[in-house]
Amino acid sequence: QASPCTRVVEERRRMSADDKSRLAKWRRMLAAWSSFVASDPCAVRRRVWRGVPSPVRGNVWTLLLSASAVSELYPPNTFARLCLFDSAADANRNVDEIVRDLPRTFPKVAYFARRNGPGQRALFNVLKAFTSFDAKLGYVQGMGFIAGTLLLHMSEESAFWSLVSMLNACTHAHEPPMSQLFAEGMPLLRRRCFELDRLLAIAAPRLKSHFASEGLHPTMFASHWYTTIHSCGASPEAAARVWDVALAEGPGMTSHRVAIAMLLADADELLLLPFDALVPRVRSLPEVIESRLFPSLDAFMHAVAKAAEVVTHQALDRIVDEWVESDRSSAAPLAIPRQ
């Protein structure tokens, strides 16, 4: 698989007249991004849901994340400096873990598949730089899929600052920083699984009841959905469409809507399965978004939009109140599948 820049050129050659027209609209919007977002946010939201054209997706994502604004807070050579090897014990441990996980991150995506190839080197650089930047958080499994998804659409340095923004900044007022998904005890991940359990009771009470009768809880299958924003298992194309919306409207909210859309699409089959068959089937739902669950990516995103009728800010506010009041120590143990 070619580098992101080469792929953009190839995709531009293959674009239809309608695609070229849509790309032209996005370029005009990007040329006056701040004023366009302020004057017509509904148009921005509508276009994001239809999918950001691949040639400008990296630029759009960095703008949605305010990655350039974050980078300007630091010296120009920060990324290059952080890529340098640090002999400290914690850094060494992070490096060993990153290297171990490289071949497990997007093994079916050609750009990352070759050992020590350009994709794996870029992924290592971004993750190594981040662990040096945020030594307290360090490297946690799952971060590779976030960095890797970014690298499919932008340069190493842009991916690094986008990762910093995603994990450490409150890019959406109603959501805590994503770093809490990976912090000790994984507090945000536990909350997300609790929220999904309650949302499923609203969206699909029969399925929720079946899961409960079989002893299946979201902590047993959904952890990687939230830590990777559904990029682990899904095709790069499906993940990109999810991320377009997630970076615009919030990764937690969007991940919930994707989860509900997938579970509803497969509900008839899931209702027939016992525990031993339920677990692998539910965990693998992102892998069959296009092959079994939905006839097209547009149909998939339509189902995600439909799930927004259930996954609302008001519903989540009520669930969060319940979460705060509950005894969190009694929550089911998290099951983090290996990459």
Reduced to 3 states (helix: H, G, I; strand: E, B; else coil), residue 318 is helix
The confidence score (pLDDT) of residue 325 equals 82
> Do residues 133 and 85 make contact, with C-beta atoms less than 8 angstroms apart?
no
What digits encode the pLDDT tens for the residues 207-233? 999 999 999 999 999 999 999 999 999
Residue 131 burial by CB count (10 A; 0-12/13-18/19+): exposed, middle or buried? buried
Largest CA distance in the chain: 57
Task: Supply the angle between the helices 187-203 and 205-214 in degrees, to the nearest 10.
Answer: 120
CA distance 261 to 200: 10
The confidence score (pLDDT) of residue 3 equals 62
Residue indicated by tokens 């509508």: 46
The confidence score (pLDDT) of residue 338 equals 46
pLDDT per residue of the chain (339 residues) written in tens, 0 to 9: 556 656 555 655 667 788 899 999 999 999 999 999 999 999 999 999 999 999 999 999 999 999 999 999 999 999 999 988 665 555 667 889 999 999 999 999 999 999 999 999 999 999 999 999 998 999 999 999 999 999 999 999 999 999 999 998 867 778 889 999 999 999 999 999 999 999 999 999 999 999 999 999 999 999 999 999 999 999 999 999 999 999 999 999 999 999 999 999 999 999 999 999 999 999 999 999 999 999 999 999 999 999 999 999 999 999 998 998 875 555 555 555 444
CA distance 154 to 59: 8
φ, ψ (nearest 5 deg) of residue 278: -65, -45
- Neighbour count for residue 212 (Cβ, 10 Å): 13
The confidence score (pLDDT) of residue 326 equals 78
Query: Of 336, 338, 5, 1, whose CA–CA distance to 159 is shortest?
Result: 5
Reduced to 3 states (helix: H, G, I; strand: E, B; else coil), residue 136 is coil
Tell me the C-alpha to C-alpha distance, in Å, between residue 287 and each of 108, 192, 231, 236, 268: 12, 21, 10, 11, 18
CA distance 86 to 95: 9
